[in-house]
Chains A and B, each alone.
Chain A
Amino acid sequence: MSRFSPLLQRMNERITLPQPEKSRVLQEMAGDLDELYELYLSRGYDELEAQRLAEEKVEAGDETITLLIQLNDTFIRKLLRRLSELTQKRMETISWVTLLVLLCMAFTMKIMNSELISDSIFVWILSFLAISLFGVSVSKYYSLYIKKDHEIERLHSGLSLIFFLGALSLLTGLNGFFYELHKAFINTAKETDKMQIYISIAIQRSLALIAVGFVIAVCAALVWFIFTLKTLSIEQYEKSILYRD
């Protein structure tokens, strides 16, 4: 760990910029700290004094941090910051709710017009899971790639949920498959003459359920994988800057 790690860690917490802007600022400071330290050592200062003098030159005050953030921030964040915190949150909430309602409506209409329409409850469970997955994924995408809210402790939030929703979709599809088959065989036992019809309808529904469940699970796995890679790269980048000797 570098002797300047505590200072860089402090600066990292105070500079609320998205990556890679934040890392660039920190990297510049880290480089200057090292050079200043060497310079003061060469001028006869002892290690502690050289470190103190270097830190005095580089560690920024509140006003300087604010200026740095304003100068290096992205256009979207600058625009958002102009709105008050409350307005920003309200606008975000309204946008998300509107988007989700529209998606739910579109998805429901699609389901109603498709072959998947049935009295099977599993269709609706899968629809709910797909919409939830979509909502969580869009929200995570927004925070990772657009808003770039890279607070280390919140980086992984939502990833487990994406994974869980994907796994649940696969299990729901499988469960639906067996349930529909089971129901068909019960009906067949009651009306043996319609056996062929019941079985063919059951297979059609069951396979559709398992196919949809599988597609949702694959999508969830892909999204989870991409977001995990992104969070890991952000963490690696932070570490490489802050803890380089």
Chain B
Amino acid sequence: MNKTNVEISNLPKYCNEALILAVLARGDRHGYQLAIEIEEMSDGLFKFNHGTLYPILHKLEKENLIKGLWEKSDTQRKRKYYSITRKGKNYFYQQKAELEHFLSTFIGIIGEKKK
């Protein structure tokens, strides 16, 4: 893992992307489902209020990490749902490994300080 994206400056953005990709790796979701699911899984720690979810989703879509598809709901309104791409899955596994490495190092240092 020579080049890492996990840096303090872009950690929140990177974590948000990882959260979304992690949920999508389990199956296709609508935007709102992603927001609610992440919020509930984290007991309200990670919230996507005020439309913050959309730029992340659109960025991931532009980078071909996820794919947005349209379907018609029962009310005939068009609904967009997202699915993770092969590229997205590979990216997510790399992210996961990087975050694990980063967090274990981080916790290690905090642990050292406690001593």
- Chain B residues within an 8 Å CB radius of A30: 77
Contact with B50, one of A25, A27, A64, A244 (Cβ below 8 angstroms): A64
Contact flags (1/0) for A45-65 with B, using CB distance below 8 Å? 000000000001111110011
Task: Please tell me if A72 contacts chain B, counting CB pairs below 8 Å.
Answer: yes
Task: Please tell me if B4 contacts chain A, counting CB pairs below 8 Å.
Answer: no
With A35-B30, A36-B32, A71-B59 as contacts: A28 and B54 at CB distance below 8 Å: yes
Task: Please tell me if A138 contacts chain B, counting CB pairs below 8 Å.
Answer: no
Interface SS, A side = helix
Q: Is the CB of B32 within 8 A of A68?
A: no
Chain B min CB distance to A124 (Å) = 53
Task: Please tell me if A31 contacts chain B, counting CB pairs below 8 Å.
Answer: yes
Task: Please tell me if B87 contacts chain A, counting CB pairs below 8 Å.
Answer: no
CA distance A59 to B48 in the complex (A): 11
Q: Is the CB of A60 within 8 A of B51?
A: yes
Query: How many A-B residue contacts, CB cutoff 8 Å?
Result: 68
Q: Is the CB of A60 within 8 A of B77?
A: no
- Chain B residues within an 8 Å CB radius of A57: 32, 35, 48-51, 53
Interface residues of A, CB < 8 Å — how many? 24
Interface residues of B, CB < 8 Å — how many? 23
Nearest B residue to A35, CB-CB: B32
Question: Which A41-97 residues sit within 8 Å CB-CB of chain B?
Answer: 56-61, 64-65, 67-68, 71-72
Q: Is the CB of A244 within 8 A of B55?
A: no
Task: Please tell me if A32 contacts chain B, counting CB pairs below 8 Å.
Answer: yes
With A28-B31, A28-B80, A71-B59 as contacts: A60 and B75 at CB distance below 8 Å: no
- Chain B residues within an 8 Å CB radius of A234: none
Q: Is the CB of A71 within 8 A of B55?
A: yes
With A39-B36, A72-B58 as contacts: A31 and B78 at CB distance below 8 Å: yes
- Chain B residues within an 8 Å CB radius of A58: 32, 51
Q: Is the CB of A67 within 8 A of B55?
A: yes
Chain B min CB distance to A68 (Å) = 5
6 sampled A-B residue pairs with Cβ under 8 A: A34-B75, A36-B32, A39-B36, A59-B50, A68-B58, A71-B62
Write the residues of chain B forming the contact surface with A, with a CB cutoff of 8 angstroms: 30-33, 35-36, 48-55, 58-59, 62, 73, 75, 77-80
Write the residues of chain A forming the contact surface with B, with a CB cutoff of 8 angstroms: 25, 27-32, 34-36, 39, 56-61, 64-65, 67-68, 71-72, 244
Known A28-B54, A61-B50, A244-B77; 18 more pairs at CB < 8 Å? A27-B80, A30-B77, A31-B77, A31-B78, A31-B79, A31-B80, A32-B31, A35-B30, A35-B73, A39-B32, A59-B51, A60-B50, A60-B54, A61-B51, A64-B50, A64-B51, A64-B52, A71-B62
